[in-house]
Amino acid sequence: MYPDIGFFGFINIDVIAEQSLCIHDLGLELRQNEVYHYQNANRDYKGYLFQYTLEGYGIYETPGTSYRMSKGKAFFITFPDDSRYYLPTEQSESSWKYFYIHFSGPAAEPFFRRIRELTGPMVTLELESPAIRLFFELYEVLKSGIQLERYRGSEWLYRFLTTLLRSIEFPADKKSSPHVTAAASWMQLNYAGALSLEAMSKEIGVSFSHLSRQFYKEKGLTPIQYLTQIRLEHAMQLLLGTDLTIQKIAEECGFSCGNYFSKVYKKVLHLTPEEYRKQHKV
């Protein structure tokens, strides 16, 4: 059972929200047996719109493609956009119940770009997914008459976008490959050794090329990137928590030598190990 329909606008008077993430309005709407049509190229405001279908359906169209936005489907767009969405009128009884969030801010752009890269124009999410639950938690707070304190809207929006991206990139019902799980565990245990990832692949019974494809699909990193991340994170702990030399830390973390360790460290963190230790060690 969904809450009653309602709409909430927000007056954002702080510069921080405008320069990062800023909710303008959100709501839960029911469009039924009426003319409901928006041409997004002609909208008179900028920002982003996330609109998720709860019941019924509407149509979202991009040039050459039409998407039926039924239950569990959403579109995520930025204005202006060469698209439109509308309630179909070919049936005598038509309805579209959905919630929407309209927001802006430069911090939203990386999320939008990555989500569109992963899903294309249409996002599919279960009603019980964490991002959808987050919306209804906020909606119930607003329906109760509680106003958001300063910065709370930006805080919530960042949480929503990160949760949305995580739900899309790493869905809860996605089964992990036993080879990927075995490889990740193997690297976590053996990162300090002079290991060969090809030898590791043979040990767990899969070709390295197949493992690399599966690993990237599930983790968003190649095995080499994953191993390097483990090594660098351990190196950071040693840089801050010990007085070991750079050469010794390189050896402890599986790098062939101090020079190579320093090159990798600077490439990833934009600081040499010495610079990082000097800046961050208390």
Same domain? 131 vs 13: yes
Q: Give the domain-ending residue among 169, 189, 207.
A: 169
Structure token digits, residue 220: 């968003």
Q: Give the domain-ending residue among 169, 200, 231.
A: 169
Q: How far is residue 254's CA from residue 184's CA, in Å, rounded to a whole number? A: 16
Question: Which amino acid, 176?
Answer: S
Structure token digits, residue 170: 């790493």
Same domain? 125 vs 230: no
Same domain? 198 vs 274: yes
Question: How confident is the model over 26-59, as pLDDT tens digits?
Answer: 999 999 988 899 999 888 778 999 999 999 999 9
Same domain? 147 vs 242: no
Same domain? 40 vs 96: yes
Same domain? 199 vs 150: no
Question: Does residue 193 belong to any structural domain of this protein?
Answer: yes
Structure token digits, residue 208: 């390295």
Same domain? 24 vs 140: yes
Same domain? 40 vs 160: yes
Same domain? 83 vs 28: yes
Q: Give the domain-ending residue among 169, 199, 222.
A: 169
Q: What is the CATH number of the domain that holds 86?
A: 2.60.120.280
Widest CA span in the chain: 77
Q: How far is residue 21's CA from residue 19's CA, in Å, rounded to a whole number? A: 7
Count of domains observed in the chain: 2
Q: What residues make up the domain containing 239?
A: 178-280
Question: Does residue 1 belong to any structural domain of this protein?
Answer: no
Neighbours of 209 (CB within 10 A): 10
The model's pTM is 0.74
Q: SS3 for 85? A: strand
For the residues 264-273, what does the mean pLDDT come to? 94
> What was the pLDDT predicted at 92?
62
Q: What is the CATH number of the domain that holds 269?
A: 1.10.10.60
Same domain? 223 vs 113: no
Tokens 């190990």 sit on residue: 273
> What was the pLDDT predicted at 196?
85
248 pLDDT more than 90? yes
Any idea what DSSP says for residue 42?
G
For the residues 239-251, what does the mean pLDDT come to? 94
2 pLDDT more than 60? yes
Question: How confident is the model over 184-198, as pLDDT tens digits?
Answer: 999 999 999 877 899
Question: Does residue 39 belong to any structural domain of this protein?
Answer: yes
